[in-house]
Structure 1
Amino acid sequence: MNAKPFKLTRRFETALTYTHQLHAGQVRKGSDVPYIAHLLSVAALVLEDGGNEDEAIAALLHDAVEDCGGMEILQEIRRRFGDRVAQIVEGCTESEIIPKPPWRERKERYLQQLRCGSPSVYRVAIADKLHNARSTLMDYRRQGDAVWQKFKGGKEGTLWFYRAVLAIPPPSAHVLAEELARVVGELSENYMKSG
């Protein structure tokens, strides 16, 4: 976290615009919230954790391959933002094919990628999972158990996946992983009360 201060460059601005173009019209699962809100939140978490510009750009684009066009999009990301950004995005991608493989198979593959991924992949992935878990917890507080209906894995599968992510040792002491553990713990407590 003692990273040297830096300024975001025009590349980040370009990535913001490109992200908006890719995800325009998409909304968060089960809501009317523009999807870009999630991508901005993940990028903010990455930057607040000391991430660099490549990691922040990858955070903005981490869902582009699976949600906006597969390997063609990955090649375009590589062309626009370089190999490092493309490698992080690829490491955070569950599936590049449509239709997507079955849910459990996708999650198992993703967990293996995360185990073998770079510290940059880990940072972006944990920021993504943290924002998703926080959003789920907020929705749970508003909707109760109905929140789980929007997830293919349901309540049990979703909590299993978060716990499996947390079981992967972080590359170093990781505040985002600690926060994810706290949020997943709260979701699990609510699960035990209602289950």
Structure 2
Amino acid sequence: MSEASCATRAWNRLSEAAAFALTLHAAQLRKGTEIPYIAHLLSVAALVLEHGGDEDLAIAGLLHDAVEDCGVEHEAVIEARFGARVAAVVRDCTDADSFPKPPWQARKQAYLDHLETASPDALLVSACDKLHNARAIATDLRTHGPAVFTRFKAGQAGTLWYYRALADVFTRRLPGPLARELNDVVAAVERQTAAL
């Protein structure tokens, strides 16, 4: 493949969003690991593209936790730099924009309720986020056993409840390969947990 054919699409906005995400999340690690948080954001953006999302939605995948983890003031910056569509998806993927966050159970139930009316764009990005998280739980469960659940505020029971509820919502609202894979991964986590 020639250099010219590799450069037919610039992806300039996606590159800018990746640099912005790196800046925002530079010091963060994945819960209970030494994995840089940016690995999750890059994975979500990749999943969005793999499941038919465009550059705007890949950008939203990179920035989906910016408001929730780094502060509500970033919402206006995201809109100014990347547009209203990206900002709307980031907003729709945010389960809390205040510090301290509301209590876990109420916050997660509110997010599940919100997914019932969320846009197709937001559903795609959110499902990719949850799929990557569920894959990480499955991998860590095989490696570390049930201790993996100590990383989560809700522990084992709450985490399993939340991911089962997410899989059910996406199966209804976003039927297709992405929702099926999320359901399969969640079912594998449930089986792994029951076998421990």
TM-score interval, normalised by the smaller of the two chains: over 0.9
The one-letter code of the counterpart of 1:186 is: A
| 2:49 pairs with 1:44 | no
Structure 1 match to 2:62: 60
Q: Distance in 1 between the 2:155 and 2:49 partners?
A: 31
Structure 2 match to 1:176: 178
Structure 2 match to 1:3: none
Q: How does 1:1-195 map to 2 (within 5 A)?
A: 7=9, 9-70=11-72, 72-168=73-169, 169-194=171-196
Q: Distance in 1 between the 2:146 and 2:173 partners?
A: 34
Q: How many residues align?
A: 188
Q: Distance in 2 between the 1:108 and 1:173 partners?
A: 21
TM-score by length of 1: 0.93
Unpaired runs of 5+ in structure 1?
1-5
After superposition, what is the alpha-carbon deviation per residue over 1:18-68, rounded to whole angstroms, capped at 9, x for unaligned? 000000111000011000000000000000001011110000000000111
Confirm or deny: 8 A CA contact 1:8 1:53 kept in the other structure: no
Identity %: 49
TM-score by length of 2: 0.92
Q: Distance in 1 between the 2:164 and 2:92 partners?
A: 19
CA RMSD of aligned residues (A): 1.3
Unpaired runs of 5+ in structure 2?
1-7
Q: Distance in 1 between the 2:101 and 2:36 partners?
A: 22
Confirm or deny: 8 A CA contact 1:58 1:88 kept in the other structure: yes
Change in Cα spacing, 1:144 to 1:123, as seen in structure 2 (3 Å) is same
Instruction: State the shift of 1:175 in Å.
Output: 1.1
